[in-house]
Amino acid sequence: MFREEDLTFERVERLNEDGVLLHDKKVVSDEQVLEMYQWMLKARLLDEKLLRMQRQGRIGTYAPYSGQEAAQIGSVFALEKSDWICPSYREHAGNMVHGMPLEQIILYAKGHLHGGRVPEDVNILPVQIIIAAQTLHAVGTAYAQKYRGEKHVSVSYFGDGATSQGDFHEALNFASVYQVPAIFFCQNNQYAISVPVEKQMASKSIAQKAVAYGMPGVQVDGNDVLAVYEVMKEAVERARNGEGPTLIEAVTYRLGPHTTSDDPTKYRSKENVEPWREVKDPLRRVRLYLENSNLWDVEKEKAFVQTFQDELDHMIDEIESKEKEFPKVEEAFEYVYQEKNAQLEEQQAEARRIREEGDWHE
């Protein structure tokens, strides 16, 4: 018989909005908290910079992630370098921590043909644009690791909208049946583009969807970096010990638009956004905790911000100074198949002709 209480998930919380620990249990040291915060701050600064660059016409369409730094960085801190990340297009913060060079992130935003390349020693799959497809990729890499007898874990990052896709349900079903070391990490940022979560699904939570597939489901405060780390650490240990997959719902909020092609004022009010921006901001609560612990102050923050902004500006200047040397559009046809077929040869020639005749602007 169905019982309503079976679908009630207590949200895991460790650090409140005022930066105060909710109990004595702490699974990370203050030094680690400081490192997490510095990564979160870098990620916020990068996001704000790329958003400004898009408005200036210096990069193409961009998907901001401000507000979701704790969810990404807290979870990635629980991984080993040998673990795999299967990201969507909004995971630059977590990707940076896992080893993706900042230069590659900028090149990707610039539309550089090689911007999506991942260094050999970084276990991150290319950015996935198809909604929820990366959940299947995580299952595939996890299955391969289990087959090889390796102790690595695969993590798929996706948004609440992805849970309405068939790929998501197929991935959870396969992962549970075969008990692969996969973690499905949903950043429930409240909106699938313009559709609020309550209009997208009738279920009380995303975490409860794990019940149907026979795996643990956990809901965590996605703006609480300590709680995210703790929940993720437990899921990683389960997966690494052969105990199967976990679905994690990190409840967070997308402060900006879905992408720079979106106008969020059409579907949400300023009154809805401001509490998340002013009080619930994940950076704010960690900063308050560090300040109360005498590990951070205004002067340290100013110096850190200036140093990173200088580094970022210098890197962007270097990249933009070489834009004339960027690969031409027709070179993309070299990377479709190992050997080009006749149709690709024809398309490549046409692309070259159009570019040389100036019928489009690169």
Rounded to 5 degrees, what are φ and ψ at 225?
Answer: -65, -30
Buried b or exposed e, range 121-145, using 16+ CB within 10 angstroms? eebbbebbeebbbbbbbbbbbbbeb
Distance, in Å, from the CA atom of 98 to the CA atom of 92, rounded to the nearest integer, reads 10
Distance, in Å, from the CA atom of 222 to the CA atom of 12, rounded to the nearest integer, reads 9
Distance, in Å, from the CA atom of 218 to the CA atom of 230, rounded to the nearest integer, reads 11
Whole-number Cα distances in Å, 30 to 223, 286, 287, 291: 18, 11, 12, 11
**What six digits make up the tokens of 217?**
């489901």
Q: Are the CB atoms for 249 and 218 separated by under 8 Å?
A: yes
Indicate the DSSP class of residue 155.
Answer: E
> Taking Cα atoms as reference points, which of 323, 319, 320, 343 lies closest to residue 333?
343
User: Would you please indicate which residues are annotated as catalytic (active-site) residues?
Assistant: 254, 258, 267
Q: Are the CB atoms for 85 and 94 separated by under 8 Å?
A: yes
Q: In a 3-state reduction of DSSP, which class is residue 187?
A: strand
